[in-house]
Structure 1
Amino acid sequence: MRSPKDFFAPLAIGAPAPLREVPFRPSRNIHFFPPANEKMRSKVPDMVATCDVLLGNLEDAVPASDKEAARAGLIEVGQSVDFGDTQFWTRVNSLDSPWGLDDLLEIVPAIGDKLDVVMIPKVEGPEDIHYVDRLLAQLEAKADLTEPLLIHAILETARGVANVEEICAASPRMQGLSLGPADLAANRRMKTTRVGGGHPGYLVRTDPTGDDLEAGRTTYQQDLWHYTVARMVDACASNGIYAYYGPFGDIRDTVGCEDQFRNAYLLGCVGAWSLHPVQIDIAKKVFSPPVDDVVHAKRVVEAMGDGTGAVMLDGKMEDDASVKQCLVVLDLATQLAERDPELKEAYGL
């Protein structure tokens, strides 16, 4: 076990010093694009202004025959596109694949100065993060990078969920976690073929009202992912990193997508994946605090003065805990307002 005093020392001679705190940057949507597709690559410059995060996907949904073309396409995008304030991420292939190592060996020297985060799929324990951590340090040193690349892990196996706290604490590079519902469902032997969202068979039913056990009993669909998302949020929050909802696979069901994203937002996630342009605005809407919440938060903070004691506001008691809740909303609103002029005007910031 490494000594705590060495935790923030570079893992390779000449590598940049690890961050002591992961900065929060608006990342309401992580929009995936296929770098192997020349038509999609050509759209990236126009998408920069519409997304908080643009992610070049090298893993799932990329056929084996296109893996090298996707990697080359990602490098081309990184070398040619000005991302400005928009974050540029990539999801590399899994560590047990024939392509994962080459992804890192080729990408970091070529565009490591443009990348913000490397997403690692199917992370099962801290040992996976330790491996990537050391390798990135060596590649950063070799490429003379001055800023460390961050790591984002996907929870896609039961073992990964069981080790989620250790994964979050494995490296100062850890930026956050995403839920990977499809692979996780398969690994857990869950009997669903949906990608995210609820399931009509996963329900609760009101008690019987008489001898007829079918009559008058209302059912309510439940969320298959509530436990996993809540545990992921706690693990991330306790380690100063960020939780994200992953994909919602039913592109047509924009209403269900918005509901699922909002559940994740209320539980503490900071963003979600968008697999199709129609989901970009949904994620940006849901993971931006509503105007009424921002207005209320400002009133509470102003009424509480130094943040101690308690006051009555609109018939509700507000105290120091209320101020902390309101500051979470205001901090997010302030950062989003700096990026989005429409939100700045709506929030009055």
Structure 2
Amino acid sequence: MERPIRLRRSILSVPANREKMVRKALSLSADVIMLDLEDSVPVDEKEKARHAVVEALMASGWKGRVRAYRINDMSTPFAYRDLVDVVEEAGPWLDVIVVPKVNDPAEIKAIDYWLTQMEMRLGLTKKIGLEASIETAQGMLRVGEIAVSSPRLEALVFGIADYGASVGMPSGGISGHGDAEDQEAARLRWLFPLSRMAMAAKAAGLAALDAPFGDFRDPQGLARSCAMSRALGYDGKWAIHPDQLDVINQVFTPSDDDVARSRRIVAAYEAARARGEGSVAVDGKMVDAASVRLAQVTVKVAEAARRNRNLAGLKPSQS
């Protein structure tokens, strides 16, 4: 199954049981709106929240955004109903399901089997995608296996707070979501897991998505966090507050210079192929195959960002 190219610069997590927050999210500049059934929903509201997810997915106003929701993790008694109740009612409107706390590739394979059966029963022709959230030492240890566990997988997501807890990182008063880390040494502790997960994702042809930044009142800290993960190959970042979206979108949107150079590389590559030549030169420099692939992705991201902005009726500064 060919994986679709989706714009995932910013992913806004919204509690599914908060109707006003869901309605507001549809007016914001997030590329992905993820309706949450997991941590943000109390146990006694899980069933009601599933119905809310169905209603939200089927509602108008999405304007080209990715329609996603997060189930409860597979060790709970809620996950199977999260899948069946939502997919059977709103499967045709659904793009992606986010699976939290994935520790074993068997979890993704099991969900793949269930979805295949439901899609067959419902007569769905569009395959529902999956995202696996890596949030523990066990999951990070097996991240390479998880990344290739299903052709439905489109992205890996880093769960910073739970990962830190799973390896016994001292919090030191830090929220656990990467904020309040002014010291370089504190930020460096995330480089290994971020790099390991990004490597697994890219080797499998998946997107890599960074965890949210905890302090929504610190745009400078958020920008630093985005810059670090983007430098490591990440495609986007989760947001926990609407005020974070503009910063995230800005950092993960290719600059005009990057897009212009990437277009030159792609054009030169296509011209060389038409002539039967294997080597490509741009601006007096030879360009290797990896650079061509990166240029192609950059152009696709820029074009997708423009489409999303136009569909949402947003001004350039809001994308």
Q: TM-score, normalised by structure 2?
A: 0.86
**2-structure distance, mates of 1:324, 1:130:** 29
2:279 match:
308
**1-structure distance, mates of 2:267, 2:206:** 29
Unaligned runs of 5+ in 1: 1-18, 204-220
Structure with bigger RCO (C-alpha 8 Å, 6+ apart): 2
2:258 match:
293
1:22 match:
3
What root-mean-square deviation, in Å, do the aligned CA atoms of Structure 1 and Structure 2 show?
2.4
**1-structure distance, mates of 2:268, 2:51:** 56
Return closer, same or farther for 1:101/1:301 CA change in 2, 3 Å cut-off.
closer
2:106 match:
127
2:87 match:
108
Shift of residue 103 of structure 1? 0.8
Contact 2:209 / 2:236 at 8 angstroms: preserved in 1? yes
2:50 match:
71
**2-structure distance, mates of 1:309, 1:99:** 53
Contact 1:45 / 1:81 at 8 angstroms: preserved in 2? no
Shift of residue 234 of structure 1? 1.3
1:167 match:
146
Shift of residue 301 of structure 1? 5.5
Q: Which amino acid aligns with 1:308?
A: S
Mapped pair 1:256 → 2:221: yes
Contact 1:52 / 1:87 at 8 angstroms: preserved in 2? yes
**1-structure distance, mates of 2:105, 2:211:** 21
Mapped pair 1:34 → 2:15: yes
Q: Which amino acid aligns with 1:340?
A: R
Mapped pair 1:284 → 2:253: no
Deviations 1:231-273 (A, max 9, x none): 1111111111111002111111111111111221222111111
Q: SS where residue 230 of structure 1 aligns?
A: helix
Return closer, same or farther for 1:319/1:134 CA change in 2, 3 Å cut-off.
closer
Q: SS where residue 4 of structure 2 aligns?
A: coil
Contact 1:109 / 1:142 at 8 angstroms: preserved in 2? no
Contact 1:177 / 1:244 at 8 angstroms: preserved in 2? yes
Contact 1:87 / 1:116 at 8 angstroms: preserved in 2? yes
Contact 1:197 / 1:223 at 8 angstroms: preserved in 2? no
Return closer, same or farther for 1:329/1:98 CA change in 2, 3 Å cut-off.
same
Q: SS where residue 69 of structure 1 aligns?
A: helix
Of 309, 319, 328, the residue aligned with 2:287 is: 319
Shift of residue 303 of structure 1? 7.0
Deviations 1:204-241 (A, max 9, x none): xxxxxxxxxxxxxxxxx542221111111111111111
1:4 match:
none
Deviations 1:148-169 (A, max 9, x none): 2111110011110010010011
Q: Which amino acid aligns with 1:117?
A: V
Mapped pair 1:83 → 2:66: no
**2-structure distance, mates of 1:308, 1:329:** 20
**1-structure distance, mates of 2:309, 2:119:** 33
**2-structure distance, mates of 1:177, 1:106:** 24
The alignment-based identity, stated in percent, is 33
**2-structure distance, mates of 1:26, 1:67:** 29
Say which one has the larger Rg: 1
**2-structure distance, mates of 1:44, 1:309:** 44
Q: TM-score, normalised by structure 1?
A: 0.79
Q: Which amino acid aligns with 2:6?
A: R
Unaligned runs of 5+ in 2: 273-277
